[in-house]
Amino acid sequence: MYQRILVPLDGSATAEQALPYARLLSTGFKASIELLRVIDGPAVGPVDLEHDAVINQLAESARAQAGEYLANVAGSLRAGGLEVVTSILEGDPASIIVTESEKAPGTLIAISTHGRSGITRWVMGSVSDKVLHATRAPMLIVRCAEAAPSPGINFSGIIVPLDGSQLAEQVLAPAVAVAKALGLKTTLLRVTPSAGDYFRYMDYPPADYEDLSKEVDDDAVRYLDNINRRIKLEGVAQTEERLIHGNAAFAITDFVKEIPNSLVAMTTHGRSGIGRWVMGSVADRVVRHSGGPVLVVRAEETAPAAG
CATH no., domain 157-298: 3.40.50.620
pLDDT interval class at 200 (50, 70, 90): low
How many C-beta neighbours within 10 Å does residue 5 have? Answer: 27
pLDDT one-digit tens code per residue, 69-85? 999 999 999 999 999 99
Q: Which band of pLDDT confidence, cut at 50, 70 and 90, is reported for residue 206?
A: low
Nearby residues of 158 by Cβ (< 8 Å), 6 or more positions away: 175, 178, 179, 184, 185, 186, 187, 262, 263, 264, 265, 295
Q: What is the mean pLDDT of residues 231-243?
A: 96
pLDDT in tens, 215-229: 889 999 999 999 999
285 has pLDDT over 60: yes
What residue segments make up the domains of the chain, in order of their start? Answer: 4-143, 157-298
In the predicted model, what is the mean pLDDT of residues 50-62? 70
Q: How far apart are CA 102 and CA 121, in angstroms?
A: 22
Question: What is the pLDDT confidence band of residue 124, given thresholds at 50, 70 and 90?
Answer: very low
Contact 8, 38 (CB under 8 A): yes
Query: Structurally, what CATH architecture does the domain formed by 4-143 represent?
Result: 3-Layer(aba) Sandwich (3.40)
Tens of pLDDT, residue by residue over 139-178, are 998 887 766 777 778 899 999 999 888 888 999 999 999 9
| Fold match, 4-143 / 157-298 | yes
| Weakest mean pLDDT among 65-69, 132-136, 226-230, 236-240 | 132-136
Per-residue pLDDT at 184 exceeds 80:
yes
